[in-house]
Structure 1
Amino acid sequence: MFVNLPVRDLDRSVAFFTALGFSFNPAFTNENATCMLVGEDAFVMLLVEPFFRQFTDKQLCDTSRSIEALVALSADSREGVDALLRLALAAGAREPRPAQDHGFMYQRSFEDLDGHAWELFHMAGEPA
C-alpha cells in the first residue's frame, strides 16, 4: 500500500518523521518526493505540493480547516502507542484530542507538521 501526502517542506517533513523513527528509501527520494518505509508492504510518499498537484485536478485540502484522511498505524502495545505519540509531540506535532480507551483498542492521535491526521492504536482484543 502506498499513501501519498502533500507536504509544504520536504526536508522539514523528513526530519519530523525521522525523529519518530521512520526511514526512507533513497531510490525514491529527490527534491520532489520521498518514500517513507512504514511496514513490509506499506509506504507513505511525501510529495511537495507542486509535484503532488500533477496527480490531481482537485484543490489540495487546507488541513487547518478540513481533513482528507486518517492514516492509522498499529503498535505492538499501549506503551508503543504512547511512545510514538511522545516522539511526534517532541518533533512538533499537535495532539487534537485525549487518549481513547475502547477496552479492546487503545488509541491516540496527532497532526503532523502539515496537518495530516495520524491515528496510533493498539488492539488487545475483539470488539464487543
Structure 2
Amino acid sequence: MQPLIFINLPVRDLAASIAFYKALGYRRNPQFSDETAACIVVSEVIHVMLLTHEKFMQFSPRPISDAHASAQALFCLSAESRAAVDERVARATQAGGTADPTPTQEFGVMYGRSYEDPDGHIWEVMWMDPATIAGEPASS
C-alpha cells in the first residue's frame, strides 16, 4: 500500500472551506468528517484535513499562525499541462481564493502558478515537461 499524505489545515469557517475545496473538484470523505473537521480527497494518496481552530489545537500546543500574514509551508500539486495550471488557478479564484500570491514560475520545462485559499494557505500548481521528468534532454 502506498503511504497516504494528510495535510492538516486550521480553518476559521469549516463550511466555507469545504465549499472552496469542492469547487476545485475535490470530494469530501464523510467517513473522516464531522462538525469540527472535513477530510477532502485530492487524490488516492493526498487528503486535506480541514480542522476548526479548536480541533486543530487538540493536535498542536503551538499557536495557530495567520496564514495571511506568515507562511509555514507551501503545498505544490502537479498538473498535466500548462493550461491545466491556469485552469486550476482560475477555478480557485472563482471559488473565492486569491490568484498568484507567489510569483509565477516560468522556466521553459517547468511552469507554475499559485493560489491562496480563504484562510491564506498557499497552494502551488506546477507543470513539468514530461520528457524532463523522464530524464530526457529538454526539447527546444
TM-score for both structures, normalised by structure 1: 0.94
Counterpart position of 1:90: 94
- The match for 2:116 among 97, 108, 111 is 111
Structure 2 gap segments, 5+ residues each: none
**What is the CA-CA distance between 1:99 and the residue it aligns to?**
2.6
Give the residue type in structure 2 aligned to 1:107. Answer: G
Aligned-residue sequence identity (percent) comes to 47
- The match for 2:56 among 52, 58, 64 is 52
2:68–2:121 CA contact under 8 A, matched in 1:
no
TM alignment of 1:1-128, pairs within 5 A:
1-95=5-99, 96-124=101-129, 125=132
Extract structure 1 runs of 4+ deviating beyond 2 A: 125-128
Give the residue type in structure 1 aligned to 2:10. Answer: P
**What is the CA-CA distance between 1:98 and the residue it aligns to?**
4.7
Q: CA RMSD in A?
A: 1.5
Deviations 1:62-97 (A, max 9, x none): 112101110111111111111110000111111214
**Quick check: which has more Rg, 1 or 2?**
2
Structure 2 CA distance for aligned equivalents of residues 4 and 98 of structure 1: 25
Structure 2 CA distance for aligned equivalents of residues 27 and 121 of structure 1: 30
Structure 2 CA distance for aligned equivalents of residues 13 and 103 of structure 1: 34
Structure 1 gap segments, 5+ residues each: none
Question: Number of residues paired by the alignment?
Answer: 128
Give the residue type in structure 1 aligned to 2:90. Answer: R
Structure 2 CA distance for aligned equivalents of residues 40 and 30 of structure 1: 21
Q: Secondary structure at 1:68's aligned position in 2?
A: coil
Q: Secondary structure at 1:30's aligned position in 2?
A: coil
